[in-house]
Amino acid sequence: MTTAVPTSSAPPGRSTGRPPGAAGGHLAHNYHPLPVTVTDGQGSWLHDADGRRYLDLLAGYSALNFGHRHPDLVAAAHAQLDRLTLTSRAFEHDLLHPFADRLAALTRTETVLPMNTGAEAVETAIKAARKWGYETRGVAPGRATIVVADGNFHGRTTTIVSFSTDDDARRGFGPYTPGFRVVPFGDAAALAAAIDHDTVAVLLEPIQGESGVIVPPDDYLPAVRAACDDAGVLLIADEIQSGLGRTGTTLACDLWGVVPDLVLLGKALGGGIVPVSAVVGSADVLGVLTPGTHGSTFGGNPLACAVGLAVVGLLETGEHQARARTLGAHLQSRLAALVADGLLAGHRGVGLWAGIDVDPAWGTGRDLCERLLARRVLAKDTHGATIRLAPPLTIAENDLDWGLDQLTAVLRTP
């Protein structure tokens, strides 16, 4: 009897036997990771195979708002693994309605449509908005448009990259899905002017994460809401990165008291354990998706609902939102001091979420991340000179200060 022997040069186990981050081998090269290979994590800290300890200031692009292996989330997942993991939506399971009800209550919305990844939530909202537009606004068949902002990041599907303004994300992937109109982010007048009788929705990140934590002027989202109301079109807020506590509020839109028609959630909703996303919002709008028109094999599965319910449980107390506010104020003031000292070219942010701009005279964003890595701090550059800081909301204040001390030390030594 023969056993198939894997031809991979990488043996299973703790080490890949290859320089971390190196190209080659069997893995597709669609990422350029920092040269570190992580083997385990707890809270805000990670270890590599050699036992070195790193502070995580990226937190899975905010998928890890509660840190690595939060005990409540791990316990919920373990318990569910021992009961039931998948039914498909052909049958009901006992956590589906509790998950929908508690997520709706947390976000003060009527209806929850569960999916898996963020991009699927975006696609779901696009489909719902178009069908709603045809059925209730009388838009001529095939003519619906959705207004979006430049600098957006909504995911990686062919339709979503069709309205990306990032050349790397878009180029080479056509033919592009029509029906999107791009306007400058932060300019409510330009947005209002782009809405016409074929427009069904405006789709925006209230704060643009991937673009470098771009916070719009305070009057922007209220003006966008008013423009949508005037024209009778939907406001869809992509809160996949900004939502679930990051900004010090449950949703970023809460900062301005704006209530969208649909809110897209993902990332932290899965507690860093499983992919869980959802479209939450108006029953009238989501009601256009009737049986057979939309779905997902894994959407709303029991394991996802168990973890999602535990995430909702963490946010129901308001404690993590409050931490994001107080620690966030501390983070923003320390970053402002680095800008005042001339060590950073700029910074912006809200809550425990910041974009910092590296002075090109100092180096690139990638240089800074590599120098931080050498001091055992993990962060990731986005778009050249900008680095996004998004520590777990559970980070201890002295750990955050230690991380910022490392950042300061690195910036002081060009």
Ligand X SMILES: *Cc1c(COP(=O)(O)O)cnc(C)c1O
Q: Is residue 233 left, alpha or beta, with left meaning phi > 0 and alpha meaning psi from -120 to 50?
A: beta
In the set 267, 298, 381, 399, the catalytic residue is 267
3-state secondary structure of 237: strand
Q: How far is the CB of 120 from ligand X (least distance, A)?
A: 7
- Between 267 and 334, CB nearer to ligand X: 267
* Residue 238: active-site member: yes
The upper half-sphere exposure of residue 274, i.e. CA atoms within 13 Å in the direction of its Cβ, equals 26
In the set 56, 187, 238, 254, the catalytic residue is 238
Binding site for ligand X (CB under 6 A): 61, 117-119, 122, 153-155, 205, 209-210, 238, 240-241, 266-267
- Between 256 and 402, CB nearer to ligand X: 256
DSSP annotation of 68: B
Q: Which candidate, 171, 175, 172, 193, places its Cα nearest to that of 184?
A: 193
Q: How far is the CB of 305 from ligand X (least distance, A)?
A: 17
Q: What's the distance, CA 1 to chain centroid?
A: 49
Q: How far is the CB of 53 from ligand X (least distance, A)?
A: 27
Q: How far is CA 155 from CA 133, 169, 253, 396, in A?
A: 23, 9, 20, 31
3-state secondary structure of 175: coil
Q: How far is the CB of 271 from ligand X (least distance, A)?
A: 14
- Between 199 and 277, CB nearer to ligand X: 277
Residues 6+ apart with CB under 8 A from 172: none
* Other Cβ atoms within 10 Å of 237 Cβ, number: 29
- Between 184 and 232, CB nearer to ligand X: 184
Q: Report the residue number whose CB is nearest to ligand X.
A: 118
List, as one string, the DSSP characters of 267-311: GGGGTTTS--EEEEE-HHHHTT--TTSS--SSTT-HHHHHHHHHH
Q: How far is the CB of 383 from ligand X (least distance, A)?
A: 14
Q: Which candidate, 156, 142, 158, 136, places its Cα nearest to that of 234?
A: 136
- Between 247 and 406, CB nearer to ligand X: 247
* Residue 127: active-site member: no
Enumerate the H helices of 136-245 as residue ranges: 158-162, 167-170, 188-194, 220-231
Q: How far is the CB of 152 from ligand X (least distance, A)?
A: 8
* Residue 261: active-site member: no
Residue 88 φ/ψ, nearest 5 degrees: 70, 165
- Between 118 and 403, CB nearer to ligand X: 118
Residue type, 158: T
In the set 153, 163, 180, 298, the catalytic residue is 153
Task: Give me the active site residues, please.
Answer: 153, 238, 267
